Amino acid sequence: MPYDLLPKKRRSGDSPGAENYGKKRGRQDSDIEIADEHPGADQAPYQWGSCGLSNETLSDGPGNPIDLRPQAFAVLRYLSNNPNRLVTKGELMQSVWAGTAVTDDSLVQCIHEIRRALKDDGHAILKTKSRRGYMLALPEANAAAMPATSRTSNRALQRPLAAFVGSLLIVLAVAAVAGWMLRPLSPGGKPLVAVLPFDVLGEETSARRLGNGLTEEIITDLARFPEFQVIAHDSTETYAGRSIGLAEIAKTLGVGFVVEGSIQRQAGRLRITAQLLDAATGKHLWSDRWDRPDEDLFAIQTEISEQVSNRLGGGHGVIEVAGRIAAHRKPPSDLTAYELYLLGTEKLAKMNRADVEEAIKLLKRAVEFDPGLARAWVELYHAYGVMPSFGADFEANFRLAAEAAERAVMLDPSDAEAHAVLGFSFGDRNDLARAKMEFDTALRMAPNQFEILSFYAFLASSFGEPQRGAEMADRATRLNPNYPMASTRLFAAAYFMAGRYEDALRMQKQMGPENYGRRMWVYRPAALAASGRTAEAKTALAEALKWFPDLTIEGFVSLPDTNEDDRRRLIETMRLAGFPPCAKAEAVARFEKPVHLPECVER
Mean per-residue pLDDT, 374-396: 86
Residue 14 is predicted with a pLDDT of 34
Q: Does the pLDDT at position 169 exceed 70? A: no
CB atoms within 10 A of CB 560: 17
> In CATH terms, are 46-182 and 192-312 the same topology?
no
Ramachandran category for residue 28: left, alpha or beta (phi over 0 → left; psi -120 to 50 → alpha): beta
Q: Which of 47-51, 89-93, 293-297, 521-525 has the lowest mean pLDDT?
A: 47-51
pLDDT of 387 strictly over 90:
no
Kindly report the average pLDDT of the chain as a whole number: 76
Query: C-alpha angle with apex 570: 572 to 591, nearest 5 degrees?
Result: 125
CATH value of 46-182 in 1.10.10.10, 2.40.50.140, 1.10.3720.10, 3.90.550.10: 1.10.10.10
Q: Give the pLDDT score at 322.
A: 65
What is the model's pLDDT at position 20? 32
pLDDT at 472: 94
Cβ-contact 117, 66 below 8 angstroms: yes
Residues 176, 325: Cα–Cα separation, whole Å = 9
Measured CA to CA, the distance from residue 163 to residue 161 in angstroms comes to: 5
Rounded CA separation 267/265 (Å): 7
- Torsion sign (Cα): 236, 240, 243, 246: positive
**How many Å apart are CA 226 and CA 242, to the nearest integer?**
29
Q: What mean pLDDT do residues 581-600 have?
A: 85
Distance CA 434, CA 427 (A): 8
How high is the pLDDT of residue 525?
97
Q: Are 80 and 138 in contact (CB under 8 A)?
A: yes
Beta bridge partners of 520: none
In this structure, are strands 51-54 and 57-59 parallel, antiparallel, or unpaired? antiparallel
Strand 199-201, strand 257-266: pairing? parallel
Query: Which CATH code, of 3.40.50.150, 3.60.120.10, 3.40.50.10070, 3.40.718.10, is assigned to 192-312?
Result: 3.40.50.10070
- Rounded to whole angstroms, the Cα distance separating 540 from 360 reads 32
Domain boundary assignment for the chain: 46-182, 192-312
* Own/partner pairs, 89-92, CB within 8 angstroms, 24+ separation: 89/132, 89/133, 89/134, 90/133, 91/133, 92/133, 92/134
- Which pLDDT score, from 0 to 100, does residue 1 have? 47
